């Protein structure tokens, strides 16, 4: 059993290491106060007297971007934004279309590599990166369980396997401190 758990632990760890490092790095950066727009090129345009009908966003943008020498997103994928806005493009480069009274607001956003990585961390990207993130989460659960099983038992004088007391104490302290810190940080 320990041999199988060690193999699972090792190979899952090696496979998910790159995604784990990416999410750890972007988590540190995000908690430190940076968001997905760090280093982004953001341009805002106000189009007075222009109202774009729903469903015509892509054709409007194709015409408007060619006339105004603005980069058109490489995909015409449409996503819902905040406050009734529509975003055409990808997480790396997109154009937000926000309707106003007898006017339209356009915002182009071209993110940096770090901004793209933060978007992956926040799961604001296409589904396939999210699958890797979920796999990492499942793997993390398995790492802890397999690690405890692999390392926590020792043989006593009678040859029976027993839990190491220092591991139980450390785990109990970890649970108590985590619960205290989390509860104290939200109330």
> Measured between alpha carbons, how far is 161 from 150 in angstroms, rounded to an integer?
12
Mean pLDDT, the chain, rounded, equals 91
> Measured between alpha carbons, how far is 112 from 119 in angstroms, rounded to an integer?
11
Per-residue pLDDT band at 58 (split at 50, 70, 90): very high
Domain boundaries, the chain: 2-34+117-186, 41-110
> Measured between alpha carbons, how far is 36 from 52 in angstroms, rounded to an integer?
27
pLDDT digits (tens, 9 = 90+) for 10-36: 898 999 999 999 999 999 999 999 999
Contacts of residue 70, Cβ cutoff 8 Å, sequence gap at least 6:
43, 64, 95, 108
pTM of the model: 0.81
The better pLDDT of the pair 34, 144 is held by: 34
By CB neighbour count within 10 A (0-12 exposed, 13-18 middle, 19+ buried), where does 32 fall? Answer: exposed
């Amino acid at each position: 059993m320990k041999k199988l758990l060690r193999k699972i632990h090792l190979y899952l760890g090696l496979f998910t290491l790159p995604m784990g490092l990416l999410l750890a790095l972007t988590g540190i950066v995000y908690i430190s106060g940076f968001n997905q727009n760090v280093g982004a090129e953001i341009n805002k345009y106000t189009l007075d007297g222009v109202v774009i009908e729903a469903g015509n966003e892509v054709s409007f943008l194709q015409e408007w971007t060619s006339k105004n020498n603005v980069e058109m997103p490489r995909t015409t994928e449409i996503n819902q934004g905040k406050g009734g806005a529509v975003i055409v493009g990808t997480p790396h480069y997109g154009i937000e279309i926000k309707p106003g009274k007898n006017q339209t607001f356009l915002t182009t956003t071209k993110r940096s590599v770090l901004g793209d990585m933060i978007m992956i961390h926040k799961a604001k990207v296409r589904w396939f990166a999210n699958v890797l993130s979920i796999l990492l989460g499942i793997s993390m659960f398995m790492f802890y369980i397999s690690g405890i099983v692999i390392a926590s038992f020792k043989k006593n004088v009678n040859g029976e396997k027993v839990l190491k007391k220092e591991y139980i104490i450390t785990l109990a302290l970890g649970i108590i401190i985590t619960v205290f810190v989390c509860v104290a940080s939200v109330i």
